[in-house]
Amino acid sequence: MKWRTLLGWEVTLIVLVFAALFGGALLSPAFLTASNLTFLTANFSEVALIALSMTLIIIVAEIDLSVASTLGLSSAVLGALFAAGWPIPLAIVAALAVGALAGLFNGLLITRLGLPSLAVTIGTLALYRGLAYVVLGDKAIADFPAFYTNLGFGTLPGTPIPIPIALFFVLAVITVVVLHATAFGRSLYAIGANPVAARFAGLRVERVKLSLFVLSGLMSALAGVVYTFRFASARADNAVGLELGVIAAVLLGGVSIFGGKGSVVGAVAAVFLIGIINGALTIVDVSNEVLTVVTGLLLIGSVLVPNLLGHFRTYRERRRAKGDRVIQ
């Protein structure tokens, strides 16, 4: 029943994606042009990348609010090392390592000290952003070689598909396989649904959660590298507030905030839906403030609607059970 409901929600999201594309075309004849779609999809590539790891974390009933700050810290490290004369490949590796260490720090506080992930990652949201300013200050590092900036905003040869989105699709397929076709993926649902029972079943709950937070830091750092090259600028304030868009997409995709339920396909569909809606509003000169309001409303709706549907299903099942007793 749960999987049938989830599949129905995924299909609904996919239908809404096409409806949003149609609506965007009505707003502007330029909306469905190849150049605009390339720009539109590239614009949410960082959200899409981080949403993959966020999906896994929320499935195990945790959350990571520090992802945007980790992105900013990794971007600052990449820029600072490039300015110091490091070869860019080594600077990228260092930036990724910083992201993984940031995720490890989050994970250790949560799994070893038993602190709630919400409180920990609110704290590290501020900590990592502050460290980004310590590393880079308020200056911007630019003048990256064209080869690397092209990786950020270029497209696959002969196609309108942005390179970051192509990378995202590869990682999304891997995530789908791991989550839905491996014992490790099934263990995530068990941990999210009932961590105590999962421990009794022999699952190493803390170790699994720790690995997911390291993965979240690594994916945030990868998004930081993409963001830096896409805008050809490393800044400490890169991607401020991005975590709201990530969480809104994951929850709208059908991943339960209480854990134990959700899918990558739903999260991916929601990423595209939110990205297309924002792109359609942007092309008709809607302000960033209004876009923020839209994201907030989607975030509230992504939590409210599934709960209302759940209460409605429970009420209907109780009415049906009551009717069966009357007939008997």
Give pairs for 204-208: CB < 8 Å, separation 24+. Answer: 206/111, 206/112, 207/111, 208/60, 208/184
Query: For residues 102-137, b (16+ Cβ closer than 10 Å) or e, as one string?
Result: bbbbbbbbbbeeeeebeebbeebbebbbebbeebbe
| Distinct helix (H) and strand (E) counts, the chain | 14, 0
Query: For residues 312-328, b (16+ Cβ closer than 10 Å) or e, as one string?
Result: eeeeeeeeeeeeeeeee
**Rounded-to-integer distance, Cα 260 and Cα 255, Å:** 8
pLDDT of residue 1: 41
**Rounded-to-integer distance, Cα 100 and Cα 106, Å:** 10
Low-confidence ranges of the chain (pLDDT < 50): 1-3
200 burial type by CB count under 10 A (0-12 exposed, 13-18 middle, 19+ buried)? exposed
pLDDT of residue 309: 67
Query: For residues 213-239, b (16+ Cβ closer than 10 Å) or e, as one string?
Result: bbbbbbbbbbbbbbbbbbbbbbbbebb
Tokens (6 digits) for 35: 């150049």
pTM, two decimal places: 0.90
Check if the beta carbon of residue 244 is closer than 8 Å to that of residue 67.
no
pLDDT of residue 297: 84
φ, ψ at 234 (rounded to 5°): -105, 120
Check if the beta carbon of residue 143 is closer than 8 Å to that of residue 155.
no
**Rounded-to-integer distance, Cα 94 and Cα 307, Å:** 42
Check if the beta carbon of residue 238 is closer than 8 Å to that of residue 71.
yes
pLDDT of residue 298: 78
**Rounded-to-integer distance, Cα 242 and Cα 236, Å:** 14
pLDDT of residue 310: 65
C-alpha distance from residue 295 to each of 233, 247, 290, 302 (Å): 25, 10, 9, 10
173 burial type by CB count under 10 A (0-12 exposed, 13-18 middle, 19+ buried)? exposed
Please determine, looking at this structure, whether the domain spanning 32-285 carries the CATH number 1.25.40.
Answer: no
Angle between helices 163-181 and 45-59 (to 10 degrees): 10
